[in-house]
Structure 1
Amino acid sequence: MTRTTPMTGAGHMRPVREPARLSEVEQFLYHEAHLLDSWQLDEWLALMHPEVLYRVPAPGSEGRDPRSTLQVINDRHLQLAGRVTRLKSKHAHAESPKSRTRRLLSNVRVEQNDEQDPPALVAHANFHVMRTRHAELDHFIGTYRHMLVRSADGSFLVRERVATLDHGIPEAGGTVSIIL
């Protein structure tokens, strides 16, 4: 099996038009959002491929090679597991008390990438994540890109997850202490 690499270009992509597959991807994204909003972080982490890449590009660096540009978050599975452990800990001062979040997803579009090995589906969606903490309301608005691959049991695993913000971090409360 050829090792997958982060998606920095479009490659050979074709739109997915089958209603059943589109619905399956949408339901996966909604399930992922529910796990994050309900702080079921271990269950969310279980959806990640062992070689997952989770990125939040720095504002203005989207579309550039993530290996040579600043990223707000650039985690592989080990760092992501550490992030989950810290968020669940009572020592996570930025999230004590825990934030309450609500994610709204819209305009889900799905493409098939046949050049990826294993073949991947790439889901694009708009998001609006609202976070409340200490009577403050912060808004994170942007787009998601998920590269989804099939696990041995046929379910999806997230191979790459990119949350691109439409604004700077200061406009969203100054920190990203939650998983976008």
Structure 2
Amino acid sequence: MSMLTRAEVEDFLYHEAALLDEWKTMEWAELFTEDGEYLVPPIDIPDAAKAEALFIINDDHHRLVQRAKRLTRRTAHVEFPHSKVRHTVHNVRILEQDDTSLTVASNQVVYRAKRQNLDTFVCHVIYQLVRTGDGLRIRSKRVMLDIDGLRPHGMISTIL
């Protein structure tokens, strides 16, 4: 297989961001492999191993699908009605690549507006992507927050 270009990887990341901005959470979950994971490590230990720290989010495939489903329901009170969310993707770099997988880094800023509050999440994201017959899929998405704390709400209610 030919190597992917940065532009092709950026298109995939922009597609993921658009799905999240449009609250197409189930379509977002379908971007993951069956062994996929979605991780947000502790703010003060961004490189923490899953077994050694309490993660803000530590979802295997089953849990990330359940998160995606829950956010589509009216019973997800914190996100119903949905916040206005915008994901911006910057500085995409392919760190490693072979015939079947690649490691990608990007900087992202996620804006969440609701009830006259604006939350800004500045993030560094590392993706483990795999190439399939259907295109790229996410094996791992690790979102490292570059902020001092989760203020003003003390939580993350959207998908970063």
Q: How would you bin the TM-score normalised by the shorter chain? A: over 0.9
Equivalent residue letter for 2:71? L
Q: Percent identity?
A: 35
Question: Within 5 Å, which residues of 2 pair with 1:27-176?
Answer: 27-114=11-98, 119-153=100-134, 155-171=135-151, 173-176=153-156
Q: Give the structure 2 partner of residue 179 of structure 1.
A: 159
Equivalent residue letter for 2:153? G
Cα RMSD, aligned residues only: 1.8
Task: Check the 8 A contact 1:61/1:70 in 2, yes or no.
Answer: no
Task: Check the 8 A contact 2:3/2:97 in 1, yes or no.
Answer: no
Q: 1:78 to 1:120 in 2, by over 3 A?
A: same
Task: Check the 8 A contact 1:139/1:172 in 2, yes or no.
Answer: no
TM-score w.r.t. length of structure 1: 0.82
Task: Check the 8 A contact 1:95/1:177 in 2, yes or no.
Answer: yes
Measure how far apart 1:123 and its partner are: 1.1
Structure 2: state its 5+ residue gaps: none
- Aligned-partner SS, 2:5: helix
**Ranges of 4+ aligned residues in structure 1 off by more than 3 Å:** none
Structure 1: state its 5+ residue gaps: 1-17
* Alignment partners' CA distance in 1, 2:97 and 2:51: 22
TM-score w.r.t. length of structure 2: 0.92
Measure how far apart 1:85 and its partner are: 1.0
* Alignment partners' CA distance in 1, 2:10 and 2:103: 12
State the aligned residue count: 159
Equivalent residue letter for 1:159? R
Measure how far apart 1:168 and its partner are: 3.8
Task: Check the 8 A contact 1:147/1:160 in 2, yes or no.
Answer: yes
